[in-house]
Amino acid sequence: MRDFILKRVAAVILPFVCVYGFYVIFHGHISAGGSFAGGIIVGLSYIAFSTIYGIKKGRAKMPDKVLTWAESFGTLWYGIMGMVGISRGVPFLANKLAGVDLGVPGALFSGGLIFYIGLGVGIRVASTMITIFFTLMEDDRENAA
């Protein structure tokens, strides 16, 4: 898997894959896709990086601490965004009721809180995918001792 052509092609393509994943996350409420699909695409770009460049380099780019924090932060962010409604005296996860500015329909910032909720879900899904991959690829001999 340590092929020169593969590495150079991956170096050109993978950043665009990652950015496309974030595009799908951010445009989840106005076009096709969503935070789940976008999160998987972001995660897949890192999975492809660590299969092509070796699991060691992939782990160096995404340490366990970052993954743990991103996973917890994604879930917590969803809860915090839901609490915005409660702090205004309306139900959990309320959007327009909570007085959030909805903006012009069709524009990027037209969903109120949904944009920020999607960011949290996307980060959570991406880090979960990377964690599952790293856990499966883990070398047993390191943990045997």
Partner 1 sequence: MVFTAEDYWLIALMSILVIASLAMYFIKDLVHAVIVFGAYSLIMVVIWLLLNTPDLAITEAAAGICTTVMMMVVIYRTNRREE
Dihedral angle over CA of 91, 114, 78, 64, nearest 10? 180
- Residue closer to partner 1 by CB (options 71, 94) is 71
Cβ at position 24, least distance to partner 1 in Å: 7
Listed in sequence order, the residues at least 6 apart from 103 whose beta carbon sits closer than 8 Å to its beta carbon are 109, 110, 112
Interface with partner 1 (CB under 8 A) = 24, 32-34, 36-38, 40-41, 43-44, 47, 51, 129, 132-133, 136-137
Distance of alpha carbon 77 from alpha carbon 145, whole angstroms: 37
Cβ at position 94, least distance to partner 1 in Å: 24
Cβ at position 67, least distance to partner 1 in Å: 16
Q: In whole angstroms, what separates CA 87 from the centre of its chain?
A: 27
CB 121 within 8 A of CB 35: yes
- Residue closer to partner 1 by CB (options 78, 134) is 134
Cβ at position 38, least distance to partner 1 in Å: 8
- Residue closer to partner 1 by CB (options 101, 141) is 141
Compute how many other C-beta atoms are within 10 angstroms of the C-beta atom of residue 76: 12
- Residue closer to partner 1 by CB (options 53, 133) is 133
